[in-house]
Amino acid sequence: MFLPVSKKDMQTRGWYYFDFICVTGDAYVDHPSFGMAIISRVLESEGFRVGILAQPDFHNAEGMTVLGRPRYGFFVASGNIDSMVAHYTVAKKARRQDLYSPGGKMHCRPDRATLVYTRLLKQVYPDVPVILGGLEASLRRFAHYDYWANKVLPSILPDSGADLLVFGMGERQTREISRRLAKHEDIHEMTDIRGTCYFSKGAPDPAPCRYTPSFSEVVESKKAYARACRIQYDEQDAIAGKAIVQRHPNGYLVQNRPVVPLSTEEMDKIYALPYMRTYHPMYEKEGGVPAIEEVRFSITQNRGCFGACNFCSIAFHQGRSITSRSEKSLLDEAKMLTRQPDFKGYIHDVGGPTAEFRHHSCKKQEKYGLCRGKKCLAPEPCKELQVSHSEYLQILRKMREIPGVKRVFIRSGIRFDYLMQDKEDAFFRDLVKYHVSGQLKVAPEHCSAAVLDKMGKPHIEAYLAFAKKFYELTEGAGKEQYLVPYLMSSHPGSTLKDAVQLAVFLKRWNIRPEQVQDFYPTPGTLSTCIFYTGLDPYTEKSVFVPRKPEEKALQRALLQYFLPQNRPLVEKALTLTARRDLIGTRPECLLHPLHSVRNKRPTQKNKAIQREAKSSMRHRKRRG
C-alpha cells in the first residue's frame, strides 16, 4: 500500500493526524532507488504515521498545508537530483523534460526546491521542525559556488531557515531524529547526531573540530574557497573525519562527524521494506513517471565509491567507503522481480555507483579510514588495494539460475582500471559472455594525462588495456559487442590542444561518440572548486579553466569532428592550435581538404567525401 498523499487517504486509514510529512520535489515513486521513498518507509518502520507531499504547489504558502500540520516535523528534499540540474542544461538552457515528474512535465517543482519549500513551510508552521536531506541539501551544506547564479552562496541550512540538515545517506540519522522528536526533545538541542549539520548562534563547544575559512572569506578569496573545499573533503570519513565549523553571518555552521555507514544487515533491512516499486496510481492518467523505467527491474547492491572522481558528487554525499547487501538479500529481490506482472525475464542492472565494488579498498581502511588527499585508483592503483570479484561473480551466477530470469545485465559503471587489477579473469569472462546487452558503457573521459589528473581518473593506458582484452574475450565468446566510452569536454585543465589530442585519439581508435558531455559545475565537487577558483585545492597551483562559450563549443565539436555540421568549428580549432596538418587525406587527419572556393563546383571526389561524411553518423567501432 502506498503511503497517504491526501487527507482523504489519511482518513481512509482511520488516522486523524500525521506524525511526519515528507516533502519532495519528485513525483511520488515508492521505489528504493528514490531517496524519499526510503526515508518515508524508514519512518513508517519506526511506527510513525507518515504522509507524502509530492511536488506541492510552490506559488504560495497554502500549497504546503494540504496535509495539515504534522505532530513532529517535516522531512524536506528536492528529489533524487539537484533541482537546478533537473531544470537546466550545462549551457543554462531550460530542459524540455523532467524525468522525475509525471509525464516528464517541466515546472512541477521550483528552482532550488529545497530552499523554496522550507521557506514556505516556515511561513505557515514557524514552530514545526524542518529537517533537510537529499542530494541538493547534502551538497550545499557549506558555503558553495552556484554555477547558475555564478556566485558563492551560503549554506542552505541557515539560508532556508531549516532546523537541521542530514548529509549523506540518511537512514540512521532519520531514525535518531524521529525518535528524539517523539520524546518531545527540542530539535535545537540535537547537536550531537553524526551525519547532521546544525546552525549555532554562538561558537560551538571546543570539541575536536576543524574550522574552515568563513563565508565572507570564501566569497572574497578564491584561495580561501579552495582551502575550505580541501578541509571539507579531508574530513568526509566516518573513521578519521572530524567535525567542521564554518562561520556565517549571524552564527556558525557546524557539521558533525560523518555517520557510520549501515552494516550489511541494516542495509538488507532497508531494501526489504514494503515498497510498491512503482509510481503512485494518481500519475497514471499523465503517462506515469519516466524515471521509473531505468530502475524498475534493477537491483542496488552497494553504496559508496572509493574511485572518487573529482567531478562526481558521490564521494561528498555517499562517501568513499563501500557498504554492500548480502547475497541472500540480492537473490530474494531478484526472485521478487520475477513475480512482477510486467517482468519479461531481464534484470537490467545489479550495481550501484560502481557496479562491482563489494568491500573496502584496503584492510587499513577498516581501522584508520581512507587516506586524505590520495585516491585508491588514480593516477595508478594503490599498492594496498585489495581486488576481488569473486563474491560479486557468485551472486551473478546464482541470479542467472533463478527460474524466470533470462538475462542479468550490468549497466551501472564498471570500473575498468579496478577490473584490470584482478589476477583472475573469471568475472571478466562472465561479464563479456552473460552481462553485456550488446554495448558496455565505460568512462575513460579523456586521453590527456594532464586532464585525467585533474579529473582524478587513471591514465588512458588503463582503458586501452581493458578495451584490448574486452574485444579479445568478446571474439572468443563468438559475440558482437562494443564499448561505449563516456567522454567529457571542457573539464578544468583541458586546453584546446588537449581537445585536439583527444580528437586524434578518437580517430586513431575509430571511436565516434554519439553524445558528448560538457563538464557541468554542480555544487560540492572538487572539479567545481577548480572551475570556480582556477586552483587545485590540494596543491593551490593554477589550473586553466575553459569558460568562454566559444572555446567550450570548439572543444565539444572536436570530440565529434566527423559530423559535417561541426566542420567550421573543428577547422577553427585546428587553426588556433597550429594543427592544420590534421586537414588532409592521411589516415590520421581529422578533416578532408574539401573545396575552399565558395562558388567552385564540387568535384566528383569531393561529392564522394561529403556523402561519406554525412553517412558517418552511423558507424561501427573498430575492435581493439
The cell numbers describing 510, all together, are: 575509430
> What letter does residue 356 receive in the DSSP assignment?
T
Q: Is the pLDDT of residue 600 over 60?
A: no
The cell numbers describing 7, all together, are: 487527507
Intervals of CATH 3.40.50.2300 along the chain: 7-198+250-255
Q: Is the pLDDT of residue 439 over 80?
A: yes
Q: Is the pLDDT of residue 621 over 50?
A: no
Q: How many Cα atoms occupy the beta-carbon half-sphere of 158 within 13 Å?
A: 20
CATH (residue range 7-198+250-255)? 3.40.50.2300
Contact 96, 42 (CB under 8 A): no
Closest CA to 68 of 115, 21, 123, 108: 21
Q: Is the pLDDT of residue 619 over 80?
A: no
Contact 272, 325 (CB under 8 A): no
How far lies 392's CA from each of 32, 322, 364, 382, 533, in Å?
A: 21, 13, 22, 21, 41
Give the integer Cα–Cα distance in Å for 346 and 406. Answer: 6
The cell numbers describing 217, all together, are: 572569506
For the segment 468-482, the average pLDDT, to the nearest whole number, is 96
Q: Which strand (E) or helix (H) includes residue 400?
A: helix 390-400
Number of H helices, E strands in the chain: 24, 20
Question: What is the pLDDT at residue 616?
Answer: 41
Count of Cβ atoms closer than 10 Å to residue 200 Cβ: 15
For the segment 158-210, what is each residue's pLDDT rounded down to a tens digit? 999 999 999 999 999 999 999 999 999 999 999 999 999 999 998 887 678 99
- Which residue, chain included where needed, has cell 516499486? 277
Whether omega before 379 lies within 30 degrees of 0, making that bond cis, reads yes
For the segment 539-566, the average pLDDT, to the nearest whole number, is 96
Contact 210, 245 (CB under 8 A): yes
End-to-end CA distance of the chain: 51
Q: Is the pLDDT of residue 599 over 60?
A: no
As a three-state string, the secondary structure of 216-243 is: HHHHHCHHHHHHHHHHHHHCCCCCCCCE
> Crossing angle for the helix pair 426-434 and 390-400, nearest 10 degrees?
30
For the segment 442-450, the average pLDDT, to the nearest whole number, is 96
Question: What is the pLDDT at residue 620?
Answer: 37
Helix, strand or coil, per DSSP, at residue 495: coil
Question: What is the pLDDT at residue 206?
Answer: 64
Question: What is the pLDDT at residue 24?
Answer: 98
Q: Which strand (E) or helix (H) includes residue 464?
A: helix 460-476
For the segment 79-111, what is each residue's pLDDT rounded down to a tens digit? 999 999 999 999 999 999 999 999 999 999 999
pTM beyond cutoff 0.85: yes
How far lies 524's CA from each of 49, 214, 220, 506, 531, in Å?
A: 34, 16, 19, 31, 12
Count of Cβ atoms closer than 10 Å to residue 551 Cβ: 18
Mean pLDDT score across all residues of the chain: 94
- Widest pairwise Cα distance in the chain: 85
For the segment 302-338, what is each residue's pLDDT rounded down to a tens digit? 999 999 999 999 999 999 999 999 999 999 999 999 9
Give the angle subtended at the CA of 522 by the CAs of 519 and 527, to the nearest 5°.
Answer: 60
Nearby residues of 478 by Cβ (< 8 Å), 6 or more positions away: none
Nearby residues of 356 by Cβ (< 8 Å), 6 or more positions away: 389, 392, 410, 414, 415, 418, 419, 427
> What letter does residue 4 receive in the DSSP assignment?
P
Q: Is the pLDDT of residue 617 over 80?
A: no
Q: Is the pLDDT of residue 598 over 90?
A: no
Give the integer Cα–Cα distance in Å for 423 and 98. Answer: 43
Count of Cβ atoms closer than 10 Å to residue 344 Cβ: 9
Q: Is the pLDDT of residue 516 over 90?
A: no
